[in-house]
Amino acid sequence: MKKSKLIVALSLVSMMLLSACSTGGTATTPDPEPNTPAEEEPAEEPAGEEEKFVIRAGIGLNDQHPQFKGLEVMKEYVEKESNGRIEMQLFHSSQLGDDIQMMEALQMGSQEVTCPSTAPITSIDNRFMIFDLPFLFPTEEVASDLLDGDLGQELLDGLSDHGLIGLAYWENGYRHLTNSVREVKSPADMEGLKIRTMENEVHLDFFRALGANPTPMPFGELFTAMQTGVVDGQENPVPTIALQNYPEVQDYTTLTGHVYSPFVLLMSKIFWDKLPAELQTVVEDGAILARDEQRRINREYTEELKGDLVDAGMTVTELTTEELKAFQDATKPTVEKFKSQIGEDYVNQVLEEIENLSGN
Ligand code: KDG
């Protein structure tokens, strides 16, 4: 190689290295590689060039789920409105780890975004347990109003003390029971069923109260656990049951709607603090815009996909008001038990607000 060509090649290589070091989330390839550790100083920007950032967003659900569709909406907005200064890379199906691992990665600054159900967040702030109390929200709309109001915001704000930025509540939805053993119409039918739950004390408690044998497990292990008979069943909203192909390994769905499960769109605080204010605004706006679209798609899919469960050969059981009441009564002791653990005053404040929002 001629000397002049060699100089050009060398300076190109050093420019590429410089720009890789200057990204907040440094991975410019789709590989889920760790970010630059927080303590490393970003290299100085070449004059006149604006700093670029990569957001790696990982979730447990697959790319058919409304949660992933929400991330696609956010990606489109954020990349456009940042004029290409932010790139969002999306990872589904626990490619970057399970909910708890991804939250820890955010806290360490080695991943930028994740979107768990609220249940695993209780390991960080136990006030989030409020959303695990059975039969709390009468409708999705009341849930959204509470979450998007002051009470929901207060919980999101508290996360910044734990290295996380709570950007918005998205929607997982009402959780329903599936199993491969028998049709469940009453708590008595639950006797002895091995049910996978999320890693959360409240869920364990109320499944015990129903007579089942609950096992906490990360979401990524669930399908195999059902397939191999490690568990008889699980509980998740309709889009998850249908889109994660649970009818292949489960025969019965009971529409219990025992918990309304929100998602929380989380960002690493280490990454957030590196973002210039104008890009923080773009991310915040993108999270809210995508939230509204994600909820809309989720509700549409929930209705449409119930029929798919039947078409796929499942017995889908709707409970009568009396049958549902038997489940509600059986799980009341769980609500009382965890009231004191979460904080009696706080729980009463939330219950009062739900009453108000329900127009009661
Ligand atoms: O992407 C979110 C999932 O990882 C998880 O939160 C789904 O509700 C869920 C479960 O049952 O673990």
- Ligand 1 pocket mutation, candidates 103, 117, 128, criterion most atoms within 8 A of CB: 117
134, 335 in Cβ contact below 8 A?
Answer: yes
Ligand 1: centre distance to CA 94 (Å): 10
218, 98 in Cβ contact below 8 A?
Answer: yes
Atom in ligand 1 nearest the alpha carbon of residue 219: 12
- Give residue 360's pLDDT: 72
Residue nearest to atom 10 of ligand 1 (CA): 219
Q: Which residues pair with 173 in a beta bridge?
A: 261
Closest CA to 118 of 176, 169, 158, 57: 169
Atom in ligand 1 nearest the alpha carbon of residue 99: 4
Atom in ligand 1 nearest the alpha carbon of residue 237: 8
The dihedrals phi and psi of 150, each to the nearest 5 degrees, come to: -60, -40
Q: Which residues pair with 176 in a beta bridge?
A: 236
Ligand 1: centre distance to CA 245 (Å): 15
Q: Is 313 exposed, middle or buried (0-12, 13-18, 19+ CB in 10 A)?
A: exposed
Segments of the chain scoring below 70 in pLDDT = 1-48
- Give residue 47's pLDDT: 57
Question: What is the model's pTM?
Answer: 0.88
Ligand 1: centre distance to CA 84 (Å): 30
Ligand 1: centre distance to CA 44 (Å): 39
- Give residue 235's pLDDT: 98
- Report H helices in the chain: 3-22, 66-81, 99-108, 140-148, 150-158, 201-209, 222-227, 238-243, 269-274, 277-311, 321-342, 344-357
Ligand 1: centre distance to CA 11 (Å): 46
List pocket residues of ligand 1, CB cut-off 6 Å: 59-61, 67, 99, 115-117, 172, 198, 219, 236, 261
Ligand 1: centre distance to CA 218 (Å): 8
Q: Could you count the other beta carbons within 10 Å of the beta carbon of residue 228?
A: 9
- Give residue 280's pLDDT: 98
176, 241 in Cβ contact below 8 A?
Answer: yes
Residue nearest to atom 8 of ligand 1 (CA): 117
Going along the chain from its start, the domains and CATH numbers come out as 53-357 (3.40.190.170)
Pair of tokens at residue 298: 């989720």
- Give residue 121's pLDDT: 97
d(CA 5, CA 147): 60
Residue nearest to atom 1 of ligand 1 (CA): 60
Atom in ligand 1 nearest the alpha carbon of residue 175: 8
Atom in ligand 1 nearest the alpha carbon of residue 59: 1
d(CA 359, CA 354): 9
Using DSSP, state whether 19 is helix, strand or coil: helix
- Ligand 1 pocket mutation, candidates 198, 219, 240, 244, criterion most atoms within 8 A of CB: 219
Residue 197: in which H helix or E strand, if any? strand 194-197
The dihedrals phi and psi of 167, each to the nearest 5 degrees, come to: -85, -40
Q: Left (φ > 0), alpha (ψ -120 to 50) or beta: where does 305 sit?
A: alpha
Residue nearest to atom 4 of ligand 1 (CA): 60
Atom in ligand 1 nearest the alpha carbon of residue 94: 4
- Give residue 14's pLDDT: 38
6, 14 in Cβ contact below 8 A?
Answer: no
